[in-house]
Chain A
C-alpha cells in the first residue's frame, strides 16, 4: 500500500440528472448562456450540468489528535505577616559574664540495639520546662493582631536567650504576669505587695521594646520610689536607657521632649507641674505606667486628670491596693486605662466584670507557697503606770470637752482626741514612760545579739525621733519624710550592709511602699495605721521575694485604750467586707473608720448626719 501522498481519490462522475421540464422550453439566447429559465421564474442555473474532472487528493492523516494533560496547579495564595523590627540595645558589658554555650553539629552515634536503652536515656533531652505563652488579648480582633501574639516564643525561651539576660529565674506566676502585661493595652497589675510587680513590669517593657511594640515609655511613680525604680531597672534590664525627669524647669522641658529617650521616669508632682506647662501639646508615649496607681483614685484630682490627658497608646497601672476605701475607686483607675468612658459610674457588677478582664491580682497565699511564713503576733501591753494616769486623764477630759461642745462637735474634734490618746499609748510625754519601748528594747537585745535586722514603723516622725534617742545602742537608722531624698538611699544601703545597723525606723508615709528590705526578719508596728492595707504594705517591705527566713511581725496594742477599740472595729470590718477582687482576698480592702465608727469609740453619736464620712489621715503619700 502506498503512502497517503501517493494515494489518489477518484471522484466518480456524477450521473446526469434527468430534468423534467415543468415550464416552457428555453429560447435560443438562454440556451447560449446555458441557463434555463423556467416558467415559474426559478433560475435554471441549478440545473447546469456540472463539469466533472478527476483530481488526486492526499488521504486524511491517520494520526489521532492527542489531548495532552499537564499537572498544572493554580497559584497558591498566601497570607503574610511581618513582625515589626524591635529596638536593639547593646548588651551590658560584664567582665564576669560567661558566654552561653553555643551549638555545634555533633555527630551522634547510632545507638546499637543492645545499648539502645541506656544510651537513649543518656541522650534524653533535658526535662521539658513549663512554657508560658503570650495569649492574644480579647480585644485583639484582626487576624494579624492575634497572630502577632500567638507566634511569640514562650517567655522561658525568650528570656533565656542571648537577647534578654535575666539575672534571676522568674517564678512561674511572674512569667504569667509578664505575658499578660505584654499583651494588654490596658492593664492593672494588682499583685499583693512583695510579689514582684516591678520586675514583671520591667521585663514586659523589655519585651515590648524588643518586639517593636513600644519605643517611648513613661513611668510615673511617687518621688521616693524613683531611686528604687532606677535600681530595679539596672538590676533587671541593664541594657535599657532610663532617663529621670529632674532638675530645673528648662531642663525638665528638654527631658520630656528629648528625642531618642526610651524610658522616661518621673514623679507624680513633676507630671502635674510639667504637663500643665505643655498646655495643648503634651509629649506622646507608646506606653504610660502609673506605679502606686492608687494616687489617681480620685478622678477629679489634678493628678488623675493630668495622667488621663497624657497621649498614649497603652496604659498600665500598678498597685497592691487597687481599692483603698470604696470599690468605686476602681472607676478612676479604669478611666485612666481608658476602658470606661469619661465620667462613667459602673456598678459593682460592671466593676467586677471589668476586673476579670483588665486586672491581674495574685496574693502570696496563692502563688508563693515557698515564701517563708509571716508570723503576726498582736502584742497586748499594759500601759506603764504614768502612761495609764496620763491616758485616763486625757481621755476623761477629752470626752467631757466633746460632750460639752454639744451640737458643734465635729469629726475633727473627735479625731484630734484619738490622735492625742494614741500618742500617749506610745509614750507619756511628761515622764517618757513607755510600755512599748520596754518591749522593743527587750526584743531588740535578742535581735541584735544574733545579728538580725528589724524595721519599726510609726505614724509620727516625732515618735521616731524620740525612739532614736532611747534605742541609740542599737544604732537605729531613721527613714521618714524629713530625711532629705539624697540621704535616703545611703541609709537603706547602710541598713543592708552594716552588720551593726540592726534597726531601721520608718514612717508609714515614707517607708510603706516600694522598698525592698527582704533581708530584715522582724517588723514592729509601734502604733497602728488606720488601714490594715497600709500596714500590710509596710510589713511587705520585709516579707517579699528574696526573704530567706520567716518574718516576725509584732503589732503593739495597748490594753484598755483607744488602740484596742480601734483594732476591734477594724477586725469586725475585715470580716464583713465583701471583696470585689475575689473570695478571701481581704488584703487590699479599706478598713478605714468612718465618722460613725469614730464617734462610737467614745460612745458618742455622730452629729449632722455625716455618719458615713470616712475620717482619718490621708493614706500615706510618699
Chain B
C-alpha cells in the first residue's frame, strides 16, 4: 500500500531473448502494469560469445549470457523497475542469482507436462516456476499477484517482445 492508501499497482517484467544465426542473442524486457499495458521497454544489442568463451563456459554459456549478462543488464537499466520478472526461457532463471526481484518461468503447455516433478503454481492462465534456490519467491509474489486477472494470458507479452526485437533488428537500430 502506498502512503495515500491506494494499493500500489503490480509491475511485471516480461524478459525473453531471441537467438540470431552467427550474431548471438538479443534480449528484451517489457515492463507492464498488472493488466499488460506497457510502461517501458528495453532491449540489448546482439551479445555474441567468442570461441574462447564458448569453450570455457561450456554448457553454462547460454544461462550466463541470457541470465547474468542480458537479463541483469536489462533489469539494471530499467527506469521502471518490475516487481516480478517473468520469462519463457529457462536459462533466464539464472538471473535470479544476480538481482533481488523474484524471477519466474512461465511454462508452455508442453513444458507443463514434462516438468511434472517440480512444484508448480498458477498465475493467470499459466503455470509458473521459480528458481529452485529461491523458494521464498513464491510467497513474496503471492500477495501482489492477486491483481492479475485469472484469465490473463502471460505467454502473450513474450510475443510482443519478440516482435519488437525483430522490428528493432529490421530498423538497424541495433547495429
Contacts and interface: CB of A to CB of B under 8 A. Distances in A.
Interface in B115-174: 116-117, 119-127, 138, 141-142, 145-153, 156-157, 160-161, 163-164, 167-168, 171, 173-174
A73 B45 CA distance: 13
Nearest to B163: A150
Interface in A132-166: 143, 146-147, 150-154, 157-158, 160-163
A604 interface: no
Contacts of B37: 83, 86, 152-153, 158, 161, 163, 210-211
A80 B123 contact: no
Contacts of A125: 109, 125-126, 153
A116 B109 CA distance: 13
A111 to B, nearest CB: 6
Interface stretch (B67-75, B86-94, B95-103): B67-75
A618 interface: no
Contact of B116 (A78, A101, A110, A143): A110
A211 B40 CA distance: 12
B48 to A, nearest CB: 10
A291 B113 CA distance: 54
A78 B149 contact: no
A152 B38 contact: yes
Contact of B41 (A73, A100, A147, A210): A147
Given A103-B122, A143-B171, A77 B35 contact: no
Interface of A: 69, 71, 73, 75-83, 86, 100-108, 110-111, 116, 120, 125-126, 131, 143, 146-147, 150-154, 157-158, 160-163, 210-211
Interface of B: 30, 32, 34-45, 47, 52-53, 56-57, 69-70, 73-74, 77, 79-80, 109, 113, 116-117, 119-127, 138, 141-142, 145-153, 156-157, 160-161, 163-164, 167-168, 171, 173-174
For the complex of A and B, list the 10 residue pairs with the smallest distance between their C-beta atoms, beginning with the closest. A161-B35, A153-B36, A125-B125, A143-B171, A81-B41, A102-B146, A103-B148, A76-B73, A151-B38, A105-B121
Given A80-B40, A151-B30, A152-B37, 7 more contacts: A71-B53, A75-B73, A78-B73, A78-B74, A79-B45, A105-B138, A110-B120
29 contacts: A76-B70, A79-B43, A79-B44, A79-B45, A79-B168, A79-B174, A80-B41, A81-B40, A82-B79, A82-B80, A86-B37, A101-B149, A102-B150, A103-B124, A106-B121, A107-B120, A108-B122, A108-B127, A125-B125, A143-B173, A146-B167, A147-B168, A150-B160, A150-B167, A157-B156, A158-B37, A161-B36, A162-B35, A163-B37
